[in-house]
Structure 1
């Protein structure tokens, strides 16, 4: 029985899956959008949304200790302080008045080699709501 089993394993062991999701999230934050399979995009969406939410809290924090703590939590995923600064200072302020839904997945067709469904996984532009 699969009661309360929510995670999609992507046919990978745990450490490989975590690395894959973190790499997809890193690419989305660096590039703004990537092309990947629909299933991988849906799995990575949760991490990207949580990171943006933490970055919004860090950006709005008046207490510098709280801001540093939240930035370090984000840094646990990437181990790259320049990327964390970009997320907290450039990306998060754009979504300050938005309550979730920072990404979208647009299906673009099927991959020629194995017919996997491909999608464009991107951060939403600021003007859309």
Structure 2
């Protein structure tokens, strides 16, 4: 059975995947953006967003022991003390007004050596509204086309009479 298998395996063992995501998360926190493969970026997104949520929750706690507990939970995931300290002390302020969607993935194209799809994953700025959804054009059905055709037919003879 496939219970609890809802993650990208990335073709490596569980321990290797945990270490890889931890290192990529630390680099993302430190640098703000990293270049990696699309598959790894998609695997990193939920991982880092859970860590950022822990940092936001720790900032909202009034008891220091509760904030410390969340920091230790994040440290068990990321495993880089300087990155976690940076996130919990400074970077979490960028995400206070956001309810989620802290990262954005840009697809860059294929890598020359092995044709792997490359991507750039970065933090979304606090004041970034994101992309707005475009409204789809109205579908032209039988009723819409008949309604448009009738006024056009009426306007054409009127113009013809005016010219004659």
The answer to whether the superposition gives a TM-score over 0.5 is yes
* TM-score, normalised with respect to structure 2: 0.73
Higher relative contact order (CA 8 A, sep 6+): 1
Distance 1:3 1:54, change over 3 A: closer
Gaps of at least 5 residues in structure 2 are 130-164
Q: Does 1:107 align with 2:95?
A: no
* Deviation (angstroms), 1:83: 2.1
Instruction: Tell me the residue number matched to 1:16.
Output: 16
Q: Which residue of 1 aligns with 2:82?
A: 82
Separation (CA, whole Å) in 2 of partners of 1:3 and 1:68: 32
* Range moving further from structure 2, 68-77 or 81-90: 81-90
Instruction: Give the deviation of 1:107 after TM superposition.
Output: 0.3
SS in 2 for 1:88: helix
Q: For structure 1, which segment, 84-93 or 29-38, has the greater mean C-alpha deviation from structure 2 after superposition?
A: 84-93
Whole-Å Cα distance in 1 between the matches of residues 69 and 21 of structure 2?
22
Matched residue, 1:116: 116
The alignment's C-alpha RMSD in Å is 1.6
What do residues 76-113 of structure 1 show as CA deviations (whole Å, max 9, x unaligned)?
Answer: 12333332221012111111111010001000111001
- Structure 1-normalised TM-score? 0.92
Larger Rg computed on CA atoms: 2
Aligned residues: 129
